[in-house]
Structure 1
Amino acid sequence: MGDFAADLWSHPRLMAAVADEDWGAVFRAYRRLTGVSQMTLGERVGLVQPDVSEIERGRRRVTSVEVRQRIIAGLGIPPERLPGTAVGADALPVPGLTFAGMAPDEDLLARVTTTVDGVHSVDAATLDWLDRLLAEHRRAEDFIGSGPLVEVMGQQLRTVVKLYAGARGPLVDRVVRLAAEHAQFLAWMAQDQGQSAAALAWYDRSHEWALEAGDADMAATTLSMKAHMAWSGGRGRRCVRLAQAARWSAPGASLGVRGMAAQMEARGHALNHEPDDARRLLDDAQALIGRATQHPEDEPPWMYFYDETWFTLQHGMAAMHLSDWPAATRHITTGLDALPPNYRRDRTWYLSCLAHAHAAAGEAEQALTAALASVPDASGVGRPHAWNELHTTAAVLLRHGAPEGRELTDALRAYD
């Protein structure tokens, strides 16, 4: 058995799959070489058969460190076959998150490590690096979605919190501000995955830390994002109230942050079918955003995405709630045409919304075209929001008696 195991993990296909941490390919090659069933493999690694099947088919990613370790132990993967063995299995980064230029130099790495291990010291260089790392993670999430990042961001926040004990003078507020930014990002990722209770808890924590650090921009942003959650849940009045709180409670916030709050209030009014208030606030938001784009250096780092393109897309969303389908399709199409390709998750979402708007307008062919373009990414990076919107689009088409509704339904089932 020992010789067989050694030969097994020397097989080129298995070696390549393990080196890439492509666990679906590992499962497929392992079963092909050993002849075991999905059920038997699942028993070895502590997964049920449907989960094994989903991983093999690429419909589920292994992002949990604990699951990864169970796979390694259960299949007996030799340590030397694993990438990055020198740093230890528990310290491996999430695959795909090693950014060029983001690793600290040896001196900086030593400072971060000793701080976390209990030597109470922290300096500006350490915090500068963590700022840059957070910025890269935000941009990665735009493309790969939140799933692969949740665990690594939780670990990063724990590092920041441990730095608090070693901070002195003006660095104290900076550490707290950095913790607030991490908590806000974790809240957004929980919201993106439909985990409302966790998202609200993280937003509350972020808001508290922002107030402690005197960060008006983050304090207002967390209230705007809670308004967004209310809007997503169909609670227009709560959306309006939270967005108003974001505007009134932080008058010193940046133009972009204030513009975000204004457009969130507008969307709440649109959801409540209050067109006059919605359009008035959209005009206010557009004016604020136009001024903000003239001085992007004055905006906080998490507002990097917020510009006239993003506002145009949001304008389209408000038009959808007002049943102004021509305006909705016009704004969303214009926004999508200007959206950079690295915003993969957002493109998927707005394509699904465009499909819905076309379907509601009775434009079945255009609805199907937009929906089918969205389906592949909606089944992965766009779940659950874009995926649910596509199902809504199919239902609208079917209600209208359009044959495209059945075609879209079949396409969605092929990805289920």
Structure 2
Amino acid sequence: MDLWTHPRLTAAVASQDWAVLLRTYRRLTGISQTKLGGLVGLVQPDVSDIERGRRRVTSVEVRQRIVSGLGIPPALLATVGERAVPPPVTGLALTGIAPDADLLARVTNAVGGAERVDTATLDWLDRLLAEHRRAEDVIGSRPLTDVMRQQLRTVVDLHSGARGELADRVVRLAAEHAQFLAWMAQDQADSAAALAWYDRAHVWALEAGDAGMAATTLSMKAHMAWSGGLGTRCVRLAEAARWSVPGTSLGVRGMAAQMEARGHALNGDADESHRLLDEAQTLIGQAAERPEDEPPWMYFYDETWFALQRGMAEMHLGSWSVAIGHLTGGLAALPDDYRRDKAWYRACLAHAAAGAGEAEQALTVALQAVPDAAAVGRPHAWNELHTTAAALLRHRAPEGRHLVAALKAHD
């Protein structure tokens, strides 16, 4: 497989995101920062600073050294030259599924012209949100995005007609909708929109006095950092979810602990990662004894889910066989209609098998994941399958070519 057909690399070239480009290139090729620096004429600390966002690549000379040293194809660069690089996104002036100008004004100021609201209306909206969350597990986020945006408009319009405790409950419900929209934006790889919605959800949660949601938004921002390969940021956000919002449930605390563990795993700190994973496992066991104490959005947090998270942490630590055990067990217990999650964790399992040198197993599992990854698992599961193919080819396993052919057939 041509390395430069990988979706993350092509996207990084198109946006001239040098940090993502260097991190992804190293992940796919398995080389160190020192070796990559030798290819592009940079010392290891400079490579590290670029990857972590501490240093921006602004010099034409440095860009050219990266292009030449890594062998970026001219065809990819030609498409970049035909359009201006988009300006950095700041604040809430975002695209995708982020708030548009009208919605932003309304959700920020919580104004509208609704009739007086009552408990029965809010109970119905609570149930409707819960049903949409479960539907998203099955069909993915894209079919629900517009629906949830309109539903949030409805909730915000209720605020002007609410009084006392009902007004607080409307704000809490708005926070839950914003958090769900953030998750769907993240699922669609729209990071800027996801951060905007998480920030809005966090502020509303604090306004409503909802400690569980306030902590959850920090944990989910930690998850975003983990997805971007930023281990230290993941750790710090997860720590904030634990100590800055007291009074959360056992499950919410367990989620923060496992997110912190995954950040340490990303940084290669096995001892701290395992300590926090053990702590999270204890918390999830205790939470399972009193499910009524958990907030409604924590419905998925159970031993099956935790086993899958633990498997991903072990992948970062290079404990491939241990990861395979956790991922296999978790997948066996995951409901069959969770197509998107099945695709993602199968892709992770295929990657772990490739890392363990089990090429045949890697191909078998990857081929099981391909249809759902193509249909409801883009971009995350799809990218992970490309990473698996690269790992197989790096080890000169013929199964890599078979997986590449299967991926091309679904492109």
Please give the TM-score of this superposition, normalised by the length of structure 2. 0.73
Specify which of 224, 227, 239 is matched with residue 222 of structure 2. 227
Which residue number corresponds to residue 241 of structure 1? 236
Give the whole-Å Cα distance in 2 for the aligned partners of 1:159 and 1:177: 14
Give the whole-Å Cα distance in 2 for the aligned partners of 1:157 and 1:119: 13
Specify which of 400, 410, 415 is matched with residue 410 of structure 2. 415
Q: Deviations over 1:75-112 (max 9, x none)?
A: xxxxxxxxxxxxxxxxxxxxxxxxxxxxxxxxxxxxxx
Is 2:292 aligned against 1:297? Answer: yes
Q: CA deviation at 1:341?
A: 1.9
Question: 2:266 touches 2:316 (CA, 8 Å); kept in 1?
Answer: yes
Is 2:139 aligned against 1:144? Answer: yes
Is 2:340 aligned against 1:340? Answer: no
SS in 2 for 1:283: helix
Pairing 1:28-39 to 2, within 5 Å after superposition:
none
Q: CA deviation at 1:224?
A: 0.1
Give the whole-Å Cα distance in 2 for the aligned partners of 1:213 and 1:119: 20
Which amino acid counterpart does residue 333 of structure 1 have in structure 2?
A: T
Which residue number corresponds to residue 263 of structure 1? 258
What runs of 5+ residues in structure 1 fail to find an aligned partner? 1-63, 65-115
Give the whole-Å Cα distance in 2 for the aligned partners of 1:250 and 1:287: 20
RMSD over equivalenced CA pairs, Å: 1.4
Which amino acid counterpart does residue 138 of structure 1 have in structure 2?
A: R
Is 2:203 aligned against 1:208? Answer: yes
Which residue number corresponds to residue 278 of structure 2? 283
Which residue number corresponds to residue 156 of structure 1? 151
In the superposition, relative to structure 1, how do residues 250 and 119 fare at CA in structure 2: closer, same or farther (>3 Å)?
closer
Which residue number corresponds to residue 55 of structure 1? none
Give the whole-Å Cα distance in 1 for the aligned partners of 2:112 and 2:320: 57
Which residue number corresponds to residue 122 of structure 1? 117
Which amino acid counterpart does residue 159 of structure 1 have in structure 2?
A: T
Q: CA deviation at 1:119?
A: 4.3
SS in 2 for 1:356: helix
Q: CA deviation at 1:347?
A: 1.1
Q: Deviations over 1:106-156 (max 9, x none)?
A: xxxxxxxxxx99343100111011111100100000010000000000000
Which residue number corresponds to residue 309 of structure 2? 314
Q: CA deviation at 1:340?
A: 1.6
Specify which of 140, 164, 171 is matched with residue 169 of structure 1. 164
Structure index of larger Rg = 1
Q: Deviations over 1:168-222 (max 9, x none)?
A: 1110110000000000000000000000000000000000000000000000000
Which amino acid counterpart does residue 326 of structure 2 have in structure 1?
A: H
Give the whole-Å Cα distance in 1 for the aligned partners of 2:145 and 2:114: 27
Which amino acid counterpart does residue 165 of structure 1 have in structure 2?
A: S
Is 2:346 aligned against 1:351? Answer: yes
Question: 2:112 touches 2:159 (CA, 8 Å); kept in 1?
Answer: no
Which amino acid counterpart does residue 308 of structure 1 have in structure 2?
A: E
Q: CA deviation at 1:249?
A: 1.1
Which residue number corresponds to residue 87 of structure 1? none
Which residue number corresponds to residue 86 of structure 1? none
Please give the TM-score of this superposition, normalised by the length of structure 1. 0.72
Give the whole-Å Cα distance in 2 for the aligned partners of 1:383 and 1:344: 12
Q: CA deviation at 1:250?
A: 1.6
Give the whole-Å Cα distance in 1 for the aligned partners of 2:112 and 2:211: 32
Q: CA deviation at 1:342?
A: 3.0
Q: Deviations over 1:23-60 (max 9, x none)?
A: xxxxxxxxxxxxxxxxxxxxxxxxxxxxxxxxxxxxxx
Specify which of 343, 360, 367 is matched with residue 372 of structure 1. 367
SS in 2 for 1:379: helix
Give the whole-Å Cα distance in 2 for the aligned partners of 1:119 and 1:363: 60
SS in 2 for 1:337: helix
Q: Mean Cα displacement is larger for which, 246-255 or 340-349?
A: 340-349
Which residue number corresponds to residue 37 of structure 1? none
Which residue number corresponds to residue 273 of structure 1? 268
Which residue number corresponds to residue 325 of structure 2? 330
Which residue number corresponds to residue 390 of structure 2? 395
Give the whole-Å Cα distance in 1 for the aligned partners of 2:123 and 2:244: 29
| Sequence identity percentage | 77
Give the whole-Å Cα distance in 2 for the aligned partners of 1:150 and 1:296: 28
Q: CA deviation at 1:251?
A: 2.0
Question: 2:304 touches 2:330 (CA, 8 Å); kept in 1?
Answer: yes
Q: Deviations over 1:315-346 (max 9, x none)?
A: 00000000000100000000001112232211
Give the whole-Å Cα distance in 2 for the aligned partners of 1:217 and 1:126: 23
Question: 2:129 touches 2:177 (CA, 8 Å); kept in 1?
Answer: yes
Q: CA deviation at 1:387?
A: 0.1
What runs of 5+ residues in structure 2 fail to find an aligned partner? 1-96, 98-110
